[in-house]
């Protein structure tokens, strides 16, 4: 491959990543009616012991405001409940409803789960090389200062 063709190969690879993310998000939406961030939050609630909104936000690397917005939607749809702790009335605990438990058990794994599993099997030097290269690509696309959580979701898929 010639030097002149390299930028096209990079752009094609980026497009394939975007496309894979989009296809997985659509599959998840079609199967469960959930977005990737919603699923990740549902999984975190199921994993954590008596989580507060703040606990969930930390666990999924999303802002408190974003998690609150997602929880509002999930609560309206009967997937989660929020209630004051019986031990400490200042704490609001988030739990999954029966429907939320069912969704958690039946939903496909988020795309980032399979990515992390495969990435973890690479040699450390290769992991560092990939991170450095992708950070450089983000900078070349003027995206290095954009806030982003470690979620593979299409577009601004939050709610």
The secondary structure of residue 87, as a DSSP letter, is S
The Cα 51–Cα 59 span in angstroms is: 10
Is residue 32 in a domain? yes
The Cα 96–Cα 118 span in angstroms is: 30
Is residue 159 in a domain? no
pLDDT (tens digit, 9 = 90+) per residue, 131-150? 999 999 989 999 877 777 77
Is residue 151 in a domain? no
35 SS3 class: coil
Mean pLDDT taken over the chain: 89
pTM for the structure as a whole: 0.79
pLDDT (tens digit, 9 = 90+) per residue, 77-111? 999 999 988 888 888 999 999 999 999 988 888 78
pLDDT band at 2 (very low <50, low <70, confident <90, very high): confident
Is residue 150 in a domain? no
Is residue 26 in a domain? yes
pLDDT band at 157 (very low <50, low <70, confident <90, very high): low
Q: Give the domain CATH number at 21.
A: 1.10.10.10
Q: What interhelical angle do 6-32 and 98-106 show, nearest 10?
A: 140
Which residues constitute the domain of residue 72? 3-140
Is residue 156 in a domain? no
What pLDDT sits at residue 4?
81
Is residue 61 in a domain? yes
The Cα 97–Cα 77 span in angstroms is: 10
List the alpha helices (DSSP H) in the chain. Answer: 6-32, 36-47, 53-60, 64-76, 98-106, 111-120, 124-140
Q: How far is CA 138 from CA 5, 18, 65, 141, in A?
A: 20, 14, 25, 5
Domains of the chain: total: 1
pLDDT (tens digit, 9 = 90+) per residue, 26-61? 888 888 888 889 999 999 999 999 999 999 999 998
Is residue 7 in a domain? yes
Q: Based on the number of CB atoms within 10 Å of its own CB, is 141 exposed (0-12), middle (13-18) or buried (19 or more)?
A: exposed
């Amino acid at each position: 491959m010639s030097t002149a063709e390299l930028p096209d190969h990079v752009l094609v690879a980026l497009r394939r990543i975007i496309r894979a993310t989009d296809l997985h998000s659509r599959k998840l939406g079609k199967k469960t009616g959930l977005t990737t961030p919603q699923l990740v939050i549902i999984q975190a609630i199921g994993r954590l012991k008596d989580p507060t909104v703040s606990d969930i936000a930390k666990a999924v690397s999303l802002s408190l405001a974003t998690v609150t917005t997602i929880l509002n939607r999930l609560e309206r749809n009967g997937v989660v409940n929020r209630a004051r702790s019986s031990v400490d009335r200042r704490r609001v605990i988030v739990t999954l409803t029966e429907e939320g438990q069912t969704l958690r058990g039946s939903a496909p794994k988020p795309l980032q789960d399979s990515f992390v599993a495969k990435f973890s099997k690479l040699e450390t030097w290769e992991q560092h090389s990939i991170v450095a290269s992708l950070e450089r690509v983000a900078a070349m696309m003027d995206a290095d200062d954009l806030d982003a959580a470690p979620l593979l979701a299409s577009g601004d898929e939050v709610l």
